[in-house]
Structure 1
Amino acid sequence: MLRGSNMNMQRKRASTPLKPVLFGVLLATGAWSQAAPPQGVGQAAPPTLNAKQYSVTSASIEALHLDPPTLPDLSGYTPAAVEAKIQRKAGGRIAVQRMLRQDTLKDFTGGNGTRLREWIARQRGIPQAIFIEGGYVELGQLAKQLPASQFAETAPGVYLARLPIVVERGATLHIGKNVKELRLSEERGAFLVNDGTLFITDTKVTGWREASNGPSSFRGENVFRPFLVSWGGTETYISRSTLASLGYNTSKSYGVSITQYTPEMHKRLQRPRPSGWLIDSVFEDIYYGFYCYEADDVVLKDNTYRDNIVYGIDPHDRSERLIIAGNHVYGTKKKHGIIVSREVNNSWIVNNRTHDNKLSGIVLDRNSEHNLIAYNEVFQNHSDGITLYESSNNLIWGNRIINNARHGIRLRNSLNVRIYENLAAANQLTGIYGHIKDLSHTDRNFKLDPFDAKVSMIVVGGQLLGNGSAPIAVDSPLSLELYRVEMLAPTKSSGLSFTGVLGDKQQEILDLLVRRQKAVLIDPVETQAELQN
């Protein structure tokens, strides 16, 4: 399913088999939406079925077979491997220059001048930055060469940056274990820009409020806080470190970001797509715990993302082949724990724990396809466990999705989603819910984010246990296939009940699914007629 997945990793845990006591299924199959999105903007209107009957037939069991997915080999992503990548090339230089007319800083000084005025006010003059050029530089060298008004060692191994720090192309900055903490001054507008290679190993980087001699704890989305951004063509390595109190709601200033240059800059600079490894580290009180844009092969492994503001992990536009594995994501205050959005494809979200987030635990959004969500523990989130918005052709395998405030797994306007061997238990609404929604009256950009108001899924194996309203509910499916699904301990006393247009098909479904142990295909009669013509 996923290109480039020729590696292997053993599943960390095995599901405990539950006694197969089959109880209620609810298939809510109402009419297709009558509100057609506007044509000519990249999305298709749903067909009008007017609540015509669905047919129930036996599907091919052989066609539903899938081997367990091949997972990436994570053994090479270690702190020792990060250390081995450091090239201590002599000749690195440190210079202080004006921020104006610097490609690396145009996002922060250009435009209508609003952002530039912020740095003029914070630095009380023409804004300057510290530039690392030419080769390898360790952080401690800055304190030896610069005045305390720009960069100071305030205690043994504790450094305070009072200017932005820019790693130029061809240069390497290493913030290593001889640094107890790098503090970026909020009052002076400090931040960290990587246009070369950046290593943060065995240390701590903190947004710092000098007035209170403490971290730049979040006070509001538009209040400046220091941040880290790595541009196109860069490599960023963060290992066994803590990053805290960074980022606010302004472009490329979200906290910890790996991002291609803006389209105008990229057209001129033609930089390759950025990449990096973030491993064995802690990210807390960050506006976006992680953000990337048009990045490739980024590895987020065995990190803790706790108490971040909007998202824990947020890969974005057209990023490819990401590995998000073994992370612990919890306490996100405004939205989701892990979300990939807008054509983030061919990636792995595996063996993570994501819980107690404000909305969903894991989300695929805006045409993110050919991704694997496998062996995650997703529990106690304040909305769904796993949510797919307008994201087709994905595989959800072997997850444990428990006690979320809404649905266990929810699909909206998503086709060909395969849901295999999952446990969805004690979620307050349905275990698995699929539905269509007309988005034509929203502020959605349909050229960037087209959609089809259709849903189809295949559910094979796994257990749906004690979910609040139903094990499965599907609104107007283009097709639904069920096989070997254990539906246990319904919370409703009515037990097994099919409603809507499937009400008169209940006995056929039970006969195939339970007594004869066959796969069941449920689709509109109109679809069958079209196939015969």
Structure 2
Amino acid sequence: MKRSMGTTLLASGVMLGALQFAAPWVQGAEPTQELKETKNYTISTAPAEQLHLETPKLPDMSGYTAQAVEAKIDRKTRGRVVVKRMLQQDALKDFIGGDERLREWVKRQQAMPQAIFIEGGYVTPEDLAKALPDSQFSETEPGVYLARLPLVVGHDASLEIGKSTKDFRLSQERGAFLVNDGKLFITGTRLTAWREQDKAPASFRKPDEFRPFLVSWGGSELYIVGSTVTSLGYDNSKSYGVSITQYTPGQAKRLKRSAPTGWLLDSEFVDHWYGFYCFEAENVVIKGNTYRDNIVYGIDPHDRSRGLIIANNTVFGTKKKHGIIVSREVDDSWIVHNKSYDNKLSGIVIDRNSINNLVAWNEVYQNHADGITIYESSNNLLWGNKVLNNQRHGIRVRNSVNIRLYENLSAANGLTGVLGHIKDLSDTDRNIALDPFDAKVSMILVGGKLAGNGSSPLSIDSPLSVELYRVELLAPSKSTGISFAGVLGEKQEEILDLMVRRKQAVLIDPVESQAELQD
């Protein structure tokens, strides 16, 4: 039994500047390993009413404030501070597993490694300094604290690093890092990975060099508000920078830990291995922050996280990969009103079966690869984004179906304004074997503008379906005028005749699709 070929293609009301018919294939398009599948397409007219969508509604974000975080702090029950061996501690198992990782802490502490534990209630840096010797934790100058051991906030405890703290420093030489297994509040202050030898932040030097990090485990709550966080993380599991991550399935079940969560508001994250990372987290809010000059990613929610709000952030200067990326089943989330620019690869990426996400009203520009990239992730909506002057494609959709592009501006990008294509990934690091039936692309484009892109406003190869309606094509960069590429280029004269001259909706679909409908 054949699968349904999905929706059809509608195109209508396109305004063209300096329109001339041109060859369907243009020079400068990106070469890819395409899954070639010969299809014949037919052109006809169809009603366009089915393409109407109401403007997306966003969740109420008014409650995510410093005042709301302050109200969550319970200072009534005072906690206690103890020092224990790192061995056989659930919150530290990921960091001492195997001889090599344990050896790291033995070398740095010059003894069987220990950690500071906060238990049973509320604690501040002042409390830590009073309870511990300077060799483990000290106030080096008024309001400046230095941790020289790993620090764990217990499941029944909370730590507030507040405005009375000028800087909370984690010693790189001594192997300090911060683990939250309860509630951690960082408000109106600084958190810094500290290189004692240089009396300066532990700025990035190489991927495998230990740098202090912050990880917030299953069942925990992390709140960072109005603060600056600097130079955390390196290339080691769960040690990336600022992370909110569930325990392994066995640990989470044994410890009865729910998904971790947190709010990161109005703060600055600088020079981290990953600016932000999460794994199986829920309802995390990342709002109003600046992520600059991070190494691999700016914001990177990962496996099976859901209900995330990524809003009003500015992300730039990421050195190795993308500004904002959600990957591996990150679903039902909002990526809205962000600025992502001057990142080494793409500005925003939706990746690896991440579905039902809204990417809306973002400004994505001057990235060194694509503007917005959708890889192997179906059923996502892009609305009202400005995608400008990126070095490769403006919006790129690969092996994904039901991608809806509404009211977007894609202009002055180096290659294609909107690219849709299929690709065989079996020979890549993903090792995904996609047969021609599984590798498919379909999209809907409604409203917005495609203007002045380097090779073509729109290119789609072997689509399952594409729908176009009320798109403006302006300012062609080539003297030959505006030209489609891919399947649309092959049918360009018929499409433009209906769109421009007759002002009608256009339906394009494969011949086999129509045969199925008749059956």
TM-score bucket (shorter structure): over 0.9
Partner of 1:43: none
Tell me by how many angstroms 1:19 deviates.
8.3
Tell me by how many angstroms 1:506 deviates.
3.0
2:358 corresponds to which letter in structure 1? L
What secondary structure does 1:396 align onto? strand
Partner of 2:11: none
CA distance in 2, matches of 1:127, 1:159: 21
Indicate yes or no: 2:508 matched with 1:522.
yes
Residues 368/63 of structure 1: CA separation in 2 closer, same or farther (3 Å cut): same
Q: Say if 1:221 and 1:249, in contact at 8 Å, map to a contact too.
A: yes
Structure 1 residue corresponding to 2:90, chosen from 86, 97, 103: 103
2:468 corresponds to which letter in structure 1? L
Residues 358/497 of structure 1: CA separation in 2 closer, same or farther (3 Å cut): closer
Partner of 1:165: 151
CA distance in 2, matches of 1:501, 1:348: 32
Structure 1 unmatched runs, 5+? 1-17, 37-45
Partner of 1:72: 59
Indicate yes or no: 2:176 matched with 1:190.
yes
Partner of 1:21: 17
What secondary structure does 2:45 align onto? strand
CA distance in 2, matches of 1:418, 1:499: 19
Indicate yes or no: 2:487 matched with 1:487.
no
Indicate yes or no: 2:40 matched with 1:53.
yes
Partner of 1:392: 378
Structure 2 residue corresponding to 1:372, chosen from 323, 343, 358: 358
Indicate yes or no: 2:318 matched with 1:332.
yes
Structure 2 unmatched runs, 5+? 1-13
Tell me by how many angstroms 1:127 deviates.
0.4
TM-score (norm 1): 0.90
Aligned length: 499
Structure 2 residue corresponding to 1:138, chosen from 103, 124, 146: 124
Structure 2 residue corresponding to 1:292, chosen from 240, 259, 278: 278
1:144 corresponds to which letter in structure 2? K
Indicate yes or no: 2:170 matched with 1:174.
no
What secondary structure does 2:104 align onto? helix
Identity of aligned residues (%): 67
Q: Say if 2:413 and 2:454, in contact at 8 Å, map to a contact too.
A: yes
Q: How does 1:75-154 map to 2 (within 5 A)?
A: 75-110=62-97, 112-154=98-140
Structure 1 residue corresponding to 2:262, chosen from 257, 261, 276: 276
Tell me by how many angstroms 1:124 deviates.
0.2
Q: Say if 1:26 and 1:471, in contact at 8 Å, map to a contact too.
A: no
Q: Say if 1:22 and 1:487, in contact at 8 Å, map to a contact too.
A: no
Q: Say if 2:18 and 2:476, in contact at 8 Å, map to a contact too.
A: no
RMSD of equivalent CA atoms: 2.2
Structure 1 residue corresponding to 2:187, chosen from 201, 221, 236: 201
Q: Say if 1:479 and 1:521, in contact at 8 Å, map to a contact too.
A: no
Q: Say if 1:53 and 1:501, in contact at 8 Å, map to a contact too.
A: no
Tell me by how many angstroms 1:388 deviates.
0.3
Residues 514/321 of structure 1: CA separation in 2 closer, same or farther (3 Å cut): same
Q: Which moved more, 1:161-170 or 1:502-511?
A: 502-511
2:355 corresponds to which letter in structure 1? E
CA distance in 1, matches of 2:266, 2:487: 52
TM-score (norm 2): 0.92
CA distance in 2, matches of 1:462, 1:392: 21
Partner of 1:226: 212
CA distance in 1, matches of 2:233, 2:208: 10
Q: Say if 1:28 and 1:475, in contact at 8 Å, map to a contact too.
A: no
CA distance in 2, matches of 1:119, 1:270: 29
CA distance in 2, matches of 1:106, 1:407: 43
Residues 430/371 of structure 1: CA separation in 2 closer, same or farther (3 Å cut): same
- CA-to-partner distance for each residue in 1:377-419, whole Å, 9 max, x for gaps? 0000000000000011000000001000000000010101000
CA distance in 1, matches of 2:397, 2:318: 22
Q: Say if 1:54 and 1:502, in contact at 8 Å, map to a contact too.
A: no
Q: Say if 2:346 and 2:367, in contact at 8 Å, map to a contact too.
A: yes
What secondary structure does 2:271 align onto? strand
Q: Say if 1:27 and 1:475, in contact at 8 Å, map to a contact too.
A: no
CA distance in 1, matches of 2:190, 2:109: 25
CA distance in 1, matches of 2:181, 2:202: 25
CA distance in 1, matches of 2:32, 2:274: 38
